[in-house]
């Protein structure tokens, strides 16, 4: 074996281990974080923790209002953002002409996805809370978060539609179907798995947001669960944010427990996303 | 898709059912009180609201955390009834309240002793004077006062590491006002955090550290920190260096770092019975509740003064006669 080959072999192996280290690095950091949180918080989670109101006494405090608020926000945000996001995605991918205007729209949507979330909070505060007089209500929070995740849903929809083979669509046109018929019966069902995955990931992001909700005035102490979209609310990240900065040790444990609940919700959502994607992929055959 | 929708709806319905039986009929007084503002004052107001809720389950009190400045912004627009504040209202904030015809009364909710702390391994600091603190923290100190022996020559020739409250907080405003003499003005080269637990963490692991934060954070971490007595070099409020404690903050000898925490009540809101009941309840109960959440209660004299000022404020704005206001207060 020549010297050069040997050096190349060593380089090759070295890169393999560097790559492995890089892959593990992120996972290990995440694992340390998760284990730390689990050790601190898991013992605190019981029915009383889930069903109690916030309190000044850490052992008596619970996450009922924050949990219910998070579920409300999740559902309302989904109702608002999904139809708008999917429709916009379909338009841009299937109808939008390739023009300078379309390019401009495209660049803007990609940029929107990268804007810091607190900016959306300021936008929501001005438009929904003040101009539309919605106050610091659930609906104002949900509208703000919808804006935040719209770009993600639009991009996911477009990507999913792009994966549908052109030949299938053309076959549909060849059978005399209109554009709308093709989209409804061919393109959308084929792209549904990808679209759903995008939606669920976007909503998982929305329920973890704190900054925009603090700006629009989500509360930290609400002794009642919201009953209508116009009610004031708290969400889990707000409760965690509040607890984590309190001096008493008991609140740090509560925060860890609330983080576990929030992570559990996100994991369940991601699980649903994976499940749906697999199911749809199996169903589609051509 | 349909299935998962139904599950989510079910969870949501279940959780709202759970709650609807929660309130039994102890009192029929209804109302909705909105409070927002400082996260420092939040624990006290939360505690009062929690106890209040047990007696008046139908008066819904909600408390936000948008910070003292954010709270006053909403207060001056008439969006909230009560503003939690860790500093007095500023002139600009008074002006914008006036524009919306909102007057206010400032009531002291509790006291806090801003505590100056070092690492327990720090053996040399026995006390600090206000002048020394000023020398350390004033803007001119930036890049210059970097070693302990620059403060007092007999102290070691080692670096000094500074930790303090984030510049957006009322704690920072108060500390700079009391020490440097001008609010919001200090050197910039220190480790700043809005979360005091981060400062505790930093100081407890750094032998050369010096920092400040609220008394409650010291109390919870006594074993990891060393408190520094402060000497303001004036005789009339206690001689020599004084440590913050419940006593020295209450009798105001821990000057100038004992700070009041406020609630501001809007003149529009005291027209409503629910707000008056709540504020009276607040003033009656902060004594015990403030201590529970780590702050220092008012003296009976301060409380009486608060009550009197609130009474006069109600008299001025609520269009209710003095004797019926008095009855309302007593029946509380």
**Domain ranges within chain B, ordered by starting residue:** 27-111+261-330, 115-256
* pLDDT score recorded for residue B20: 45
> Does A223 contact B60 at a Cβ distance shorter than 8 Å?
yes
For residue B82, the SS3 value is strand
B285 to chain A: which residues are within 8 Å by CB?
none
User: Residues of chain A whose pLDDT is less than 70?
Assistant: 1, 284-286
A196 to chain B: which residues are within 8 Å by CB?
1
CA distance A108 to chain B (A): 31
- The answer to whether B237 and B255 are in contact (CB under 8 A) is yes
3-state helix/strand/coil string of chain A: CCHHHHHHHHHHHHHHHHHHHHHHHHHHHHHHHHHHHHHHHHHHCCHHHHHCCCCCCCCCCCCHHHHHHHHHHHHHHHHHHHHHHHHHHHHHHHHCCCCHHHHHHHHHHHHHHCCCHHHHHHHHHHHHHHHCCCCCEHHHHHHHHHHHHHHHHHHHHHHHHHCCCHHHHHHHHHCCCCHHHHHHHHHHHHHHHHHHHHHHHHHHHHHHCCHHHHHHCCEEECCCCCCCCCCECCCHHHHHHHHHCCCCHHHHHHHHHHHHHHHHHHHHHHHHHHHHHHHHHHHCCC
pLDDT above 90 for B284: yes
pLDDT digits (tens, 9 = 90+) for A175-209: 999 999 999 998 998 898 889 989 988 999 899 88
The predicted complex's ipTM stands at 0.81
* Confidence label for B148 from pLDDT (cuts 50, 70 and 90): very high
Instruction: Out of A56, A64, A71, name the one closest to residue B19 (CB).
Output: A64
Give the best residue of B11, B64, B73 to mutate against chain A (max A CB count within 10 A): B64
> Does A72 contact B12 at a Cβ distance shorter than 8 Å?
yes
Residue window 104-123, chain B: list those with CB within 8 Å of chain A: none
Give the best residue of A224, A231, A244, A265 to mutate against chain B (max B CB count within 10 A): A224
Structure tokens at B282: 């607040």
> Does B50 contact A218 at a Cβ distance shorter than 8 Å?
no
Instruction: Out of B53, B66, B293, name the one closest to residue A214 (CB).
Output: B66
pLDDT above 70 for B3: no
B65 to chain A: which residues are within 8 Å by CB?
214, 219-220, 238, 241-242
CA B128, CA B226: separation in Å to the nearest integer? 13
A245 to chain B: which residues are within 8 Å by CB?
39, 194-197
* pLDDT score recorded for residue A106: 84
pLDDT digits (tens, 9 = 90+) for B74-127: 999 999 999 999 989 999 999 999 999 999 999 999 999 999 999 999 999 999
* Confidence label for B24 from pLDDT (cuts 50, 70 and 90): very low
> Does B4 contact A51 at a Cβ distance shorter than 8 Å?
no
Residue window 185-244, chain A: list those with CB within 8 Å of chain B: 196, 214-215, 217-225, 227, 232, 238, 241-242, 244
> Does B12 contact A272 at a Cβ distance shorter than 8 Å?
no
Secondary element (H or E) of residue B216:
helix B215-220
The mean pLDDT value of chain B amounts to 89
Residue window 70-129, chain A: list those with CB within 8 Å of chain B: 71-72, 74-75
* pLDDT score recorded for residue B237: 77
* Confidence label for B4 from pLDDT (cuts 50, 70 and 90): low
Q: Is B69 an interface residue toward A (CB < 8 Å)?
A: no
Looking at domain B115-256, which of 3.40.190.10, 3.10.20.30, 3.40.640.10, 3.40.50.2000 is its CATH number? 3.40.190.10
Secondary element (H or E) of residue B260:
strand B258-266
Least confident of A150-159, B24-33, B35-44, B77-86: B24-33
Please give the residue that has the higher pLDDT: either B235 or A129.
A129
Residue window 3-42, chain A: list those with CB within 8 Å of chain B: none
* pLDDT score recorded for residue A278: 84
Top CATH class, B27-111+261-330: alpha beta
Q: Is A136 an interface residue toward B (CB < 8 Å)?
A: yes
B15 to chain A: which residues are within 8 Å by CB?
64, 67-68, 71, 225
Q: Distance between alpha carbon A179 and the CA centroid of its chain, in Å? A: 31
CA distance B149 to chain A (A): 32
CA distance B62 to chain A (A): 5
pLDDT digits (tens, 9 = 90+) for A55-84: 999 999 999 999 999 999 999 999 999 999
CA B286, CA B332: separation in Å to the nearest integer? 15
Residue B103 per-residue DSSP state? -
Instruction: Out of B19, B60, B220, name the one closest to residue A247 (CB).
Output: B220
């Amino acid at each position: 074996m020549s010297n050069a080959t040997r050096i190349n072999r060593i380089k090759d192996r070295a890169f393999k281990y560097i790559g492995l280290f890089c892959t593990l690095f992120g996972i290990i950091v995440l694992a340390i974080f998760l284990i730390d949180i689990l050790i601190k918080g898991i013992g605190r989670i019981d029915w009383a923790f889930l069903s109690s109101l916030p309190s000044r006494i850490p052992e008596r405090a619970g996450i009922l209002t924050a949990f219910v608020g998070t579920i409300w926000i999740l559902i309302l945000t989904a109702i608002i953002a999904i139809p708008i996001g999917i429709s916009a995605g379909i338009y841009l991918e299937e109808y939008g002409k390739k023009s300078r205007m379309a390019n401009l729209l495209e660049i803007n949507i990609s940029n929107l996805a990268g804007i810091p979330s607190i900016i959306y909070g300021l936008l929501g505060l001005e438009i929904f809370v003040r101009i539309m007089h919605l106050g610091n209500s659930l609906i104002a929070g949900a509208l703000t978060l919808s804006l935040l995740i719209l770009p993600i849903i639009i991009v996911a929809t477009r990507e999913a539609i792009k994966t549908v083979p052109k030949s299938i669509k053309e076959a549909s046109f060849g059978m005399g179907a209109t554009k709308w018929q093709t989209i409804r019966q061919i393109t959308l069902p084929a792209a549904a798995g990808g679209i759903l995955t995008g939606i669920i990931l976007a909503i998982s992001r929305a329920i973890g947001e704190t900054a925009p909700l603090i700006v629009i005035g989500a509360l930290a102490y609400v002794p009642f669960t919201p009953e209508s979209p116009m009610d004031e609310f708290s969400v889990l990240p707000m409760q965690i944010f509040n607890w984590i900065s309190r001096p008493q040790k008991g609140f740090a444990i509560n925060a860890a427990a609330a983080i576990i609940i929030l992570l559990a919700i996100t994991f369940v959502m991601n699980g649903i996303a994976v499940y749906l994607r697999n199911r749809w992929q199996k169903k589609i055959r051509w | 898709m349909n299935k998962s929708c139904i599950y989510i709806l079910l969870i949501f319905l279940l959780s709202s059912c759970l709650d609807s039986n929660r309130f039994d009929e102890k009192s029929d007084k209804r109302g909705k009180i909105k409070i927002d503002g400082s996260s420092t004052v939040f624990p006290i107001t939360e505690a009062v609201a929690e106890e209040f809720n047990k007696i008046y389950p139908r008066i819904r009190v909600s408390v936000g955390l948008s910070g003292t400045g954010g709270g006053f912004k909403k207060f001056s627009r008439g969006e909230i009834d009560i503003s939690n504040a860790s500093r007095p209202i500023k002139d600009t904030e008074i002006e914008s309240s006036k524009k919306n015809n909102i007057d206010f009364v400032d009531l002291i909710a509790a006291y806090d002793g801003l505590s100056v702390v070092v690492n327990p391994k720090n053996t040399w600091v026995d006390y600090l004077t206000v002048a020394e603190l000023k020398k350390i923290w004033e803007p001119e100190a930036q890049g210059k006062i970097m070693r302990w022996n620059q403060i007092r020559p007999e102290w070691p020739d080692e670096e000094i590491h500074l930790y303090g409250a984030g510049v957006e907080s009322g704690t920072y405003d108060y500390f700079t006002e009391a020490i440097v003499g001008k609010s919001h003005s200090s050197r910039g080269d220190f480790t700043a955090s809005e979360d005091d637990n981060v400062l505790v963490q930093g100081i407890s692991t750094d032998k050369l550290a010096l920092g400040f934060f609220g008394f409650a954070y010291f109390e919870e971490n006594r074993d990891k920190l060393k408190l520094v007595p402060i000497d303001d070099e004036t005789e009339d409020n206690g001689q020599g260096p004084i440590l913050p404690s419940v006593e020295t903050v209450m009798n105001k000898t821990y000057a100038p770092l004992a700070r009041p925490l406020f609630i501001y009540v809007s003149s529009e809101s005291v027209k409503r019975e629910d707000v008056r009941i709540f504020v009276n309840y607040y003033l009656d109960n902060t004594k015990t509740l403030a201590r529970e959440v780590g702050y220092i209660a008012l003296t009976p004299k301060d409380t009486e003064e608060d009550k009197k000022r609130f009474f006069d404020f109600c008299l001025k704005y609520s269009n209710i006669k003095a004797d019926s206001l008095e009855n309302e207060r007593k029946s509380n």
